[in-house]
Amino acid sequence: MMARGYHAVSVKDICSHADVAKGSFYHYFPAKWDILKEVINARDDFYQALFYRAMTADISPLGKIRRIFELACEDQQSALESTGKVAGCSIGNLTLELSFADEPARRIFQQLLANYAKIIAQALKEAMDIGEIPRRPAAPIAQAIFAYLQGVILLAKTENKPKMLEQLADGAITIAKGLTESPA
Amino acid sequence: MMARGYHAVSVKDICSHADVAKGSFYHYFPAKWDILKEVINARDDFYQALFYRAMTADISPLGKIRRIFELACEDQQSALESTGKVAGCSIGNLTLELSFADEPARRIFQQLLANYAKIIAQALKEAMDIGEIPRRPAAPIAQAIFAYLQGVILLAKTENKPKMLEQLADGAITIAKGLTESPA
DNA sequence: AAAATAGTTGACCGGTTGGTTTAATATTAC
DNA sequence: GTAATATTAAACCAACCGGTCAACTATTTT
């Protein structure tokens, strides 16, 4: 349901999807916003787990970065199979929807996105440590790779083709290997 | 106003922002959806013009690609100055918001995004023609660069810092120079 | 100037929204 | 088994939604 966005989905929609009555919903959640917080937490857990799986795979550090794209592809593929549509990254979707109008939300998303970029930075440092890529500051490169991931997910959503995540994964490896300048 | 999204903005909001009454709104637009179409057209014109400016600058083809990021940065900077917030790319925002739930909208956005990628592919071909980058199929690289642009705009929006578009522009150049494999 | 056309207005409409409240039902503790 | 607690439900509320429409004002045409 978070594929359609916060504002496009009513409490009634949520309740009918979950097969509970509105009274039950308000028993557990003080307001609509509170289920959003739960959804954000749940999705963050999901994505943290996805990143963890990539990071703990027994492959090279750059392979781990590629694995993120592959796992994201699987995630979008299973959404496609269950809904007929590519839903995109729910955290990314909500970020775009809510960051402009809601400052506390922007800060939450800012933190979440920074955490994902940090995980990527870790893999980059490992890659530098074993000489897979040249040594330089990892943080901006991680940001670039994360930005690229989000953009590719947007394209996959627009094209309704999860496979684009695999097709364009090399872009991330290219950035990892070649992005050399690190403006402050 | 399109910074907040289609669903988050009511016809009443639009009218009060434009200082017209609702009756006047419905004199000109049959329904809410129709002003969205106007906004999409207007924003598409704007972005086409932005891309045109980058493409017609008297600089190298790769410089043209970098110029897209610089102009996008200026665009976001002026939004920041007028609203206090980075609004993001309105076409990107709407794409994410509407593509899942609205198939005709998804197709419209699909087409628009493909057009932007085509412009980037043109610059890539020029770069290949003058030997600035190695020759290979331009379309997937253009897609990757466009995806990257959208991702960086998302980050800039989340961080509320337009300057990230300049700081991370090198990622696009890196992709242009180094992305070599072109999966079908 | 009068008639026709274009543009503006805001009260109104039925339906929906997020949230409230009271009653009923289910579960747990003693 | 009874009392206390937890959970569920749906009618209700004021406000809001996209859209309608009759009345009014402004502009253009004759």
Which nucleotides of strand C lie within 7 A of protein CB?
7-11, 16-23
**Which residue, among A48, A69, A62, has the nearest Cα to A128 in the 3D structure?**
A62
Provide the shortest C-alpha distance from residue B134 to chain A (in Å): 14
Q: Which helix (H) or strand (E) holds A50?
A: helix A32-56
Residue B118 has which token pair? Answer: 């085509």
| Residue A132, burial from CB neighbour count under 10 angstroms (0-12, 13-18, 19+) | middle
Q: Which residues of B touch A110 (CB under 8 A)?
A: 158-159
Does A16 contact strand D, using a CB cutoff of 7 Å?
no
Nearest one of B158, B111, B150 to A150, comparing CA atoms? B150
pLDDT given for residue B2 in this prediction:
76
**A24-63 residues touching B, CB cutoff 8 A:** none
Closest CA to B18 of B35, B33, B6: B35
Q: Which chain A residues in 126-145 lie under 8 Å from chain B, judged by CB atoms? A: 140, 143-144
CATH class of A36-178: mainly alpha
| Model ipTM value | 0.93
pLDDT tens readout for residues A26-73: 999 999 999 999 999 999 999 999 999 999 999 999 999 999 999 999
Q: What is the DSSP letter of B50?
A: H
pLDDT digits (tens, 9 = 90+) for B81-119: 999 999 999 999 999 999 999 999 999 999 999 999 999
Q: Kindly list the domain boundaries of chain A, sorted by start residue.
A: 36-178
Eight-class DSSP state of B182: -
Contact: B170, A151; criterion CB under 8 Å: no
Q: Running DSSP on this structure, what letter comes out for residue B179?
A: -
A171-184, pLDDT tens digit by residue?
Answer: 999 999 998 754 43
Mean residue pLDDT across chain A = 94
Each residue of A11-29: pLDDT tens digit? 999 999 999 999 999 999 9
Round to whole Å and give the CA distance between A6 and A135. 42
Return the closest-CA partner of residue A46 out of A131, A127, A116: A116
Measured from the CB, is B174 under 7 Å from any atom of strand D? no
Which two three-digit tokens encode residue A165?
């995540």
